[in-house]
C-alpha cells in the first residue's frame, strides 16, 4: 500500500500547498506528503452555495462557514498544518457557474470540472499558493503525472484504479500547471485511502460519503438550479419534432433535455423515442429511434493538447466521449483551425453529446482532448 513517489524537481523539503476539500482524498494526500517530509499547508476554496447564485441579496446564512470548510479545518488541525480559506465565490460564479448554465441553454451538456480544474483549482488557487510561498500544489485526484521521455512533455496517466481514474477531467492542464502538480493517490484504491485515513485518526473523513458530481448543485435539481439563471417570463419553449421535421409536441426549454434522454419527453408514439438532437437556433428538441443515436464521427472544438504541442497530423488513439465510457479506437483529424478537430470512430458510439469532452488517450496516457461540438456530421 505504498503511495507513488512524488518528484517536483525540487528538494524534499519543498513548500507544497494541498487543495483540501474536507473529504478523505485530499486529507490523505496532505497526510502522505507531510510524512514524506514536505513543508505543506492546506488551501480550501470558499465556493457559492446554489441558493447564493445570482441572488439579489445574500441569504441570511451567507457568512456561515460551510461544513466542508469546517471538516478541512479539523483535518488540518489533526495533521498540524496551517489551512487558508480563499473566498472565490464571485470568480466561480462568473467563470464556472455562468458557463454551466449558458451551455445548457445553448443545447449542450457541459462538464464544469473540465474548465474548473485549469482555471480555478490549478489557476487561481495556485496563484494564492505561490503568494504563500508554495513551489507546487497537490490534490486528491486519482491520476498519475510524469515527464514522458518520448513525448518530451509532462503527461497524465490514468490511475491504477480504473474505477476511480480522474484523468478525463484534467486533460486541459497546461505544461506549466503539470510541472508543479502532485497527485499522491494515483497508485491507490479508495479503500486503501480510507484505511490510511483511519490509521491516522481521521475517522470522520474516512467515513464520509463520495462527493457529488457537480459540487455547486447541492440542494436543488438541475432544472431548479438552471431556472434561477434566466428571469421569469423568458420564453424558452419550442417544438418537439422527429428527424424529418414533423412537429410532435411542444416543450418548455431545451435546457431540460440531453442527448439520449428517453423519459419525460411528453409525447407518446407507441415505441421508445430518444432525444437525438437539440437545436438552439430553432429551439427544437429532435427525437428519434435508438439507432439514430449512434454516431461514427463528430466535430470537436476548443482543443487542448497535452502530450503533443498541437494536433498537426492524423492521430490514431482511443477516445472517451464521456467520463464513465470506455475509451474506443478512433482517428483524430486536424480541423480548419488549431482549436478544431474531426473525430472518426472505429465503432459508432451511442449518444455522442455536444458540450461533453472527448479525451484522447494512448493507452493510459492522456494526449489531449476537446469539447464535442456536433455529432451526426457527414
Q: What is the CATH number of the domain that holds 257?
A: 2.30.30.280
**Is residue 168 situated within a structural domain?**
no
- Considering the domain boundaries, does residue 240 fall inside one? yes
pLDDT tens per residue, range 33-52: 999 999 999 999 999 876 55
State residue 5's pLDDT score.
43
* Co-location of 305 and 279 in the same domain: no
At 272 the three-state DSSP class reads: coil
To which H or E segment does residue 157 belong? strand 153-158
**What are 300-353's pLDDT values in tens digits?**
999 999 999 999 999 999 999 999 999 999 999 999 999 999 999 999 999 999
In this structure, the answer to whether residues 196 and 269 fall within a common structural domain is: no
What is the C-alpha to C-alpha distance for residues 118 and 7, in angstroms, rounded to an integer? 20
Helix, strand, coil percentages for the chain (3-state, nearest 5): 30, 30, 45
Same domain, 123 and 38: yes
Nearest to 111 by CA among 284, 368, 354: 354
Q: Does 67 carry a binding-site annotation?
A: no
Share of the chain above pLDDT 90, in %: 75
- Any domain includes 265: yes
CA distance 118 to 110: 15
Residue 155 in any domain: the answer is no
Average pLDDT over residues 215-234: 70
> How many domains does the chain contain in total?
3
CATH number for the domain spanning 203: value is 3.40.50.620
Q: What is the dihedral of CA 82, 209, 327, 152, to 10 degrees?
A: 10
pLDDT band for position 268 (50/70/90)? Answer: confident
Q: Determine the pLDDT at residue 3.
A: 43
Whether residue 377 is predicted with pLDDT greater than 80 in this model: the reply is no
> Could you tell me the pLDDT band of residue 220, with boundaries at 50, 70 and 90?
low
Distance from C-alpha of 228 to C-alpha of 240, rounded to nearest angstrom:
24
Is residue 279 located within the same domain as residue 308? no
137 is in an annotated binding site: no
Residues 23, 109, single domain; the answer is: yes
Confirm whether 115 is domain-assigned.
Answer: yes
25 appears as a binding residue in the annotation: yes
375 burial level (CB within 10 Å; 0-12, 13-18, 19+): buried
Catalytic residues: 116, 215
Residue 4 lies in a domain: no
Least confident residue range of 7-11, 105-109, 151-155, 289-293: 7-11
What confidence tens digit (pLDDT) does each residue in 38-97 have? Answer: 999 999 999 987 655 555 555 555 568 889 999 999 999 999 999 999 999 999 999 999
Q: Are residues 17 and 95 in the same domain?
A: yes
Q: Find the domain containing 250 and state its range.
A: 235-288
Q: Are 355 and 373 in contact (CB under 8 A)?
A: no
> Which of the pair, 171 or 208, is modelled with greater confidence?
171
Q: Has residue 75 been placed in a domain?
A: yes
22 carries a ligand binding annotation: yes
Whether residues 190 and 267 fall in one domain = no
What was the pLDDT predicted at 175? 98
Q: Evaluate whether residue 6 is within a structural domain.
A: no
Amino acid at each position: 500500500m505504498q503511495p507513488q513517489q512524488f518528484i517536483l524537481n525540487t528538494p524534499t523539503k519543498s513548500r507544497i500547498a494541498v487543495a483540501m476539500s474536507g473529504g478523505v482524498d485530499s486529507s490523505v494526500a496532505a497526510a502522505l506528503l507531510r510524512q514524506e517530509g514536505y513543508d505543506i499547508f492546506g488551501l480550501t476554496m470558499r465556493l457559492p452555495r446554489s441558493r447564493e447564485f445570482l441572488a439579489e441579496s445574500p441569504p441570511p446564512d451567507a457568512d456561515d462557514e460551510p461544513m466542508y470548510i469546517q471538516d478541512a479545518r479539523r483535518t488540518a488541525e489533526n495533521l498540524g498544518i496551517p489551512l487558508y480559506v480563499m473566498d472565490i465565490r464571485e470568480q466561480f460564479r462568473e467563470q464556472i457557474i455562468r458557463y454551466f448554465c449558458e451551455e445548457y441553454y445553448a443545447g449542450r451538456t457541459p462538464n464544469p470540472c473540465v474548465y474548473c480544474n485549469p482555471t480555478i483549482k490549478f489557476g487561481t488557487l495556485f496563484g494564492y499558493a505561490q503568494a504563500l510561498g508554495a513551489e507546487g500544489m497537490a490534490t486528491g485526484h486519482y491520476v498519475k503525472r510524469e515527464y514522458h521521455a518520448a513525448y518530451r512533455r509532462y503527461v497524465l496517466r490514468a490511475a491504477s484504479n480504473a474505477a476511480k481514474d480522474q484523468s478525463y477531467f484534467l486533460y486541459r492542464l497546461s505544461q506549466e500547471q503539470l510541472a508543479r502538480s502532485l497527485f499522491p493517490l494515483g497508485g491507490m484504491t479508495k479503500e486503501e485511502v480510507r484505511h490510511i485515513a483511519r490509521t491516522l485518526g481521521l475517522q470522520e473523513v474516512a467515513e464520509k460519503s463520495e462527493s457529488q458530481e457537480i459540487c455547486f448543485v447541492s440542494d436543488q435539481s438541475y432544472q431548479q438550479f438552471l431556472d434561477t439563471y434566466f428571469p421569469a417570463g423568458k420564453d424558452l419553449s419550442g417544438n418537439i419534432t422527429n428527424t424529418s421535421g414533423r412537429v410532435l409536441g411542444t416543450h418548455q426549454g431545451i435546457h431540460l433535455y440531453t442527448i439520449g434522454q428517453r423519459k419525460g419527453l411528453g409525447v407518446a408514439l407507441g415505441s421508445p423515442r430518444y432525444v437525438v438532437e437539440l437545436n438552439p437556433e430553432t429551439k427544437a428538441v429532435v427525437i428519434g429511434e435508438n439507432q439514430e443515436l449512434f454516431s461514427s464521427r463528430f466535430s470537436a472544438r476548443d482543443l487542448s493538447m497535452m502530450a503533443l504541442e498541437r494536433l498537426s497530423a492524423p492521430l490514431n488513439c482511443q477516445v472517451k466521449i464521456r467520463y464513465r465510457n470506455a475509451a474506443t479506437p478512433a482517428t483524430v483529424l486536424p480541423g480548419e483551425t488549431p482549436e478544431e478537430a474531426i473525430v472518426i470512430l472505429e465503432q459508432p458510439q451511442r449518444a455522442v453529446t455536444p458540450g461533453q469532452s472527448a479525451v484522447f488517450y494512448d493507452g493510459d496516457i492522456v494526449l489531449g482532448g476537446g469539447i464535442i461540438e456536433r455529432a451526426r456530421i457527414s
